Structure 1
Amino acid sequence: MGAEPATRGVLYVIACGAPAAADVHHLVPLAQAAGWQVHVVTTPMGERFVNVPELDRLTGDRVRSAYRMPGEPKGLPPADAVIVAPATFNTINKWAGGIADTFAVGLLCEVMGFGVPILAVPLLKAPLARHVAFARNVACLEEMGVRVLFDPDAPPESRMPSWERIMQELRSVVRERHSRE
């Protein structure tokens, strides 16, 4: 197996409103070191958890959390892959149901239609993980080709995998998608 290419393409990192979003700035350099051009999108609540100025600096682009207004230029290049981490109960359920009431969920619904490899990493409390809608919607997203990295039986402090583990899983998702093409 050869070395990884210098440029892997455009990676959207979508962060939702959960405590792990405060550390998403650790994921950006890992993705960049793997050759990705990173663009960060947050849900409205996710924006409250992340360090927007730091992410702007790291990516060289602004963090987006709202739909653009008519007449504003399109700002995101097409994605080659997407990481949704942390993905909340609300985002998983709205995304699977096609309820695009936030820019982040609308973007996820749209990129699925282009066949872009997507890795979702839910982070939620155990009672929410046991909700029938969550399990059904995770299965729905998986049916649509989304890789979901989630262990409902993991202890609370271990539910969110490391950013390094997430990058390993992304490599696997992208490799599998490209082998099918």
Structure 2
Amino acid sequence: MDISAEAQLVLYVVVCGAPAAGTVSTLVDLAQKERWQVRVIATEMGRRFIDAEELARRTGDRVRTGFRMPDEPDELPAADAVVVAPATFNTINKWANGIADSFPVGLLCELMGFGVPILAVPLLKDALARHMAFSRSLDALREMGVRVLFDPDAPSHARMPSWERVIEEIQQMLRDRARV
């Protein structure tokens, strides 16, 4: 499936609090070059690592962090795919266990129920990557259909794939889905 030949698809980018979040605008630009309409959702900590005003300018929409009130309109277009990058220890564990105490994690739990293709790209310290809860959470997410880009044997500085690799993987996920 050639995404550029399709109507514009919607990609949610969920950003957590890790250093790679500071360069997520590169992912946004790459996705837009591939004709994605991008919406950025950030955890509270993730918001500290990004330039929300710049991302809003690039995407044409504000960065979302909190839940909307019941009387407020749902302004997010339906997602065709989701990238969670960088995904932190906290977000991965809460998400896998259905602890929807923040908008980004609640949204991820809900999107899984709708069957939206989701790519998780964890980035965390070595000690946290060795924690039993983390490996169990990755297994649970994979079991629920989430694709995970994470090499536990890679040195910590090389665990985060390039943003180009992330875009390639999400496009491959859609091609795989189209074949089924």
Shift of 1:6: 4.5
Root-mean-square deviation over aligned CA pairs: 1.3
The aligned runs of 1:66-77 (5 Å cut-off) are 66-77=66-77
Is the contact between residue 3 and residue 35 of structure 2 (CA under 8 Å) also seen in structure 1? no
Provide the C-alpha distance between the structure 1 equivalents of 2:166 and 2:135, rounded to a whole number of angstroms. 21
1-structure distance, mates of 2:157, 2:135? 21
In 1: Cα distance, 2:65 partner to 2:10 partner: 18
Classify 1:93/1:118 alpha carbon distance in 2 versus 1 (closer, same or farther; 3 Å).
Answer: same
SS of 2:5's equivalent?
A: coil
- Report deviation, 1:7: 3.1
Q: Which amino acid aligns with 1:171?
A: Q
Gaps of 5+ in 1: none
Q: Note closer, same or farther for the CA distance 1:3–1:61 as it changes in structure 2 (3 Å cut).
A: closer
How far apart in 2 are the matches of 1:3 and 1:114?
A: 21
Moved over 3 A (4+): 1-4
For residues 111 and 9 of structure 1, what CA distance do their matches in structure 2 show? 16
Q: Structure 2 length as normaliser, TM-score?
A: 0.96
**Counterpart residue number, 1:64:** 64
CA distance in 1, matches of 2:81, 2:2: 21
* Structure 2 counterpart of 1:45: 45
2:162 equivalent to 1:171: no
Deviation at 1:70, TM superposition (A): 2.6
Does structure 1 retain, via aligned residues, the 8 Å contact 2:10–2:79?
yes
Note the 1:28-177 alignment, pairs <5 A.
Answer: 28-177=28-177
Structure 2 portions without partners, runs of 5+: none
Alpha-carbon distance change, 22 to 164 in structure 1, aligned in 2, over 3 angstroms: same
- The amino acid across from 1:101 in the alignment is D
**Counterpart residue identity of residue 30, structure 1:** L
Paired amino acid for 1:65 = T
The structural deviation recorded for 1:3 is 7.5
Q: How many residues of Structure 1 are paired with residues of Structure 2 in the alignment? A: 180
Mapped pair 1:26 → 2:26: yes
TM value normalised by structure 1? 0.96
CA distance in 2, matches of 1:166, 1:119: 8
Q: Distance in 2 between matches of 1:26 and 1:4?
A: 18
Alpha-carbon offset, residue 176 of structure 1: 1.2
